[in-house]
């Protein structure tokens, strides 16, 4: 027994390593083909499952639900860290409408479709609630990881919506599940619960975010690697504490990440890099586990229903709801159409679909398989067309691609300034001007110029040319003037 335990442990770790490595290596192929990388993770998980070539027998819904929740916490916190607060101020209204009325409207329309296809009304409502929210992991992956640069207002709306619309989907799913088990009618209680969840989650998320920012700005840790440990602890606390007080942990952790990310931080670049890696690891593990839960032989019985519901979601429910929600905010019609199309679903609906299974609802496994099929259809139809549609509707921001070189200052202390990156446009003030001719604040320094593939050390006589990427160090109080001189910041 004691001899075989190390061997079994080694085999388990080897299997995990192979699955993770294969997912990463093949992700490049799917990226070139335009296939959402999440589908690759699901496919590898299915191939490794009990009915695939891997033969791994896995059917632990409880473990999947818990690990999936932890993964979503890290993904949402990373999304909050990378969400500029200035951009969200202009879209908080439309994003909030999409995250509330949009979720309810989508749930109702999908429920009507499921009812017409033969589902009982309670199960139809539950199915609609499970798939009602867009998935933060999928949206962040497509909009940030695929090189797309949407127009700022549109991109910020889609990202903020995906970050804050999960709470309502969770509330609806839990309430409808309990109502099926003990039919009592939902009534006004669900409205009270929604308001309580959003209020408590929002308040504690903001409080923990500001508290975490205050702590990070004053504490001095022995090693830089300890700062990501502290922020990860903050993310877990931001989710769990509101949940214990009947609040929305998902809303709380996203808001906490946003508050922390928009403040002065020690070891900023290191923190962002670690949380980006944690988010990708969480996403990979989550989809691999969900793939292991799927039995391909069981999908055949729900393929027709799943395909029709997937098409209803993509072509009817999401576009109609987005049109009603965004029209009052005077978005251009092509942006409304694009937002209606890019309603990406991912792991959140599949994780929510495990809740009825854990609750022991009759027919819950069939519902789980339908949700899985619906998510795959959504990812294939929508995900494959995102890049083409973005360029077809001319919704790219026109920003230059990021430079292949990154210049940063790594410090475990909160600095009085930061390195800013600027792209020199032909009509900017500094274009054609030498460094020594600039009127910059005394503590501002032009550190590096990237011209094509060449790195230039700026001298007094160095002239800025169109297309240059310029790194400038500036104190926070001097940044408005520096931005006025150099123009658009990357």
Percent of the chain with pLDDT over 70: 91
Per-residue confidence band for 160, with pLDDT thresholds at 50, 70 and 90: confident
What sections of 49-188 are H helices per DSSP?
61-81, 85-89, 92-97, 103-116, 121-130, 136-145, 152-164, 166-181
Q: Is the pLDDT of residue 148 over 80?
A: no
> Predicted confidence band at 454 (pLDDT cuts at 50, 70, 90)?
confident
Residues 6 or more apart in contact with residue 124 via CB below 8 angstroms: 111, 112, 114, 115
pLDDT of residue 197: 86
**Cβ-contact 106, 280 below 8 angstroms:** no
User: Pick the residue with more confidence: 105 or 168?
Assistant: 105
Query: Which pTM does this prediction carry?
Result: 0.80
Residue 367 has pLDDT above 80, yes or no: yes
pLDDT in the model for residue 116 = 93
What pLDDT is attached to residue 12? 63
Query: Judging by beta carbons within 10 Å of its beta carbon (0-12, 13-18, 19+), is residue 295 exposed, middle or buried?
Result: middle
Q: Mutual orientation of helices 249-261 and 226-244 as an angle, nearest 10°?
A: 140
Between CA 133 and CA 114 the distance in angstroms is 17
DSSP string, 185-222: --TTHHHHHHHHHHHHHHHHHHHHHHHHHHHHHH---S
Contacts of 97 (CB under 8 A, 6+ apart): 325, 326, 329
- The answer to whether 207 touches 245, Cβ cutoff 8 Å, is no
Taking only the tens place, the pLDDT of each residue in 281-316 is: 888 888 888 888 888 888 888 888 989 998 999 999
Query: Does residue 1 carry a pLDDT above 50?
Result: no
Strand partners, 209: none
Report pLDDT for 401.
65
- Residue 55 DSSP label: -
CA angle 262, 264, 269 (to 5 degrees): 85
Per-residue model confidence (pLDDT) at position 23: 65
Domains for the chain: give ranges and CATH numbers. 15-392 (1.20.1530.20), 417-486 (3.30.70.1450)
For residues 420-425, average pLDDT: 86
- Which of 88-92, 95-99, 395-399, 485-489 has the weakest average pLDDT? 395-399
Please, what is the average pLDDT of the chain? 83
pLDDT at residue 490 greater than cutoff 80? no
What confidence tens digit (pLDDT) does each residue in 307-333 have? 999 899 999 999 999 999 999 998 999
pLDDT at 398: 66
| Rounded mean pLDDT, 411-437 | 82
Rounded to whole angstroms, how far apart are CA atoms 427 and 433? Answer: 12
Tokens of 407: 């210049």
**Residue 237 pLDDT level (bands cut at 50, 70, 90):** very high
Give CA angle at 284 (280, 286), nearest 5°: 115
Whether residue 449 is predicted with pLDDT greater than 50 in this model: the reply is yes
What is the average per-residue pLDDT within 367-378? 86
């Amino acid at each position: 027994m004691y001899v075989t335990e190390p061997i079994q442990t080694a085999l388990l770790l080897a299997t995990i390593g192979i699955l993770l490595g294969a997912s990463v290596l093949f992700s490049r192929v799917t990226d070139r083909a335009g296939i959402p990388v999440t589908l690759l993770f699901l496919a590898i998980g299915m191939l490794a499952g009990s009915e695939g070539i891997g033969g791994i027998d896995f059917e632990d819904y409880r473990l999947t639900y818990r690990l999936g929740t932890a993964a979503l916490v890290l993904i949402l916190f990373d999304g909050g860290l990378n969400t500029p607060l200035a951009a969200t101020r202009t879209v908080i209204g439309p994003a909030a409408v999409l995250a509330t009325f949009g979720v309810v409207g989508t749930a109702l329309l999908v429920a009507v479709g499921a009812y017409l296809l033969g589902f009982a009304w309670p199960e139809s409502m539950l199915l609609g609630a499970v798939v009602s929210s867009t998935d933060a992991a999928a949206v962040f992956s497509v909009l940030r990881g695929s090189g797309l640069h949407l127009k700022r207002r549109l991109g910020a709306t889609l990202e903020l919506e995906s970050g804050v619309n999960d709470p309502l989907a969770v509330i609806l799913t839990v309430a409808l599940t309990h109502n099926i088990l003990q039919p009592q009618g939902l009534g006004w209680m669900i409205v009270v619960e929604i308001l309580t969840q959003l209020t408590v989650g929002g308040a504690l998320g903001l409080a923990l975010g500001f508290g975490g920012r205050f702590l990070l700005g004053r504490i001095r840790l022995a090693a830089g690697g300890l700062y990501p440990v502290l922020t990860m602890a903050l993310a877990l606390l931001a989710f769990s504490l509101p949940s214990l007080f009947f609040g929305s942990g998902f809303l709380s952790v996203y808001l906490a990440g946003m508050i922390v990310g928009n403040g002065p931080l020690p070891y900023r670049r290191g923190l962002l890099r670690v949380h980006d890696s944690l988010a990708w690891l969480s996403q990979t593990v989550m989809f691999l586990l969900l793939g292991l839960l799927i039995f391909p032989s069981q999908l055949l019985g729900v393929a027709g229903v799943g395909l029709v519901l997937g098409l209803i979601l993509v072509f009817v429910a999401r576009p109609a709801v987005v049109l009603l929600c965004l029209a009052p905010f005077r978005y251009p019609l092509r942006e409304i159409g694009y937002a209606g199309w890019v309603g990406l679903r991912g792991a959140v609906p599949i994780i929510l679909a495990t809740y009825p299974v854990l609750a022991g609802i009759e027919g819950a496994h069939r519902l789980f398989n339908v949700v899985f099929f619906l998510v795959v259809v959504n990812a294939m139809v929508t995900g494959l067309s995102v890049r083409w549609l973005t360029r077809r509707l001319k919704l790219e921001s026109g920003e230059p691609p990021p430079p292949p070189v990154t210049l940063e200052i790594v410090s475990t202390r909160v600095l009085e300034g930061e390195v800013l990156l600027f792209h020199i446009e032909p009509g900017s003030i500094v274009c054609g001007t030498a460094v020594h001719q600039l009127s910059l604040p005394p503590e501002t320094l032009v550190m590096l110029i990237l011209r094509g593939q060449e790195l230039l050390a700026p001298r007094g006589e160095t002239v800025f040319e169109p297309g240059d990427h310029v790194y400038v160090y500036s104190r926070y109080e001097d940044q408005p003037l520096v931005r006025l001189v150099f123009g658009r910041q990357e």
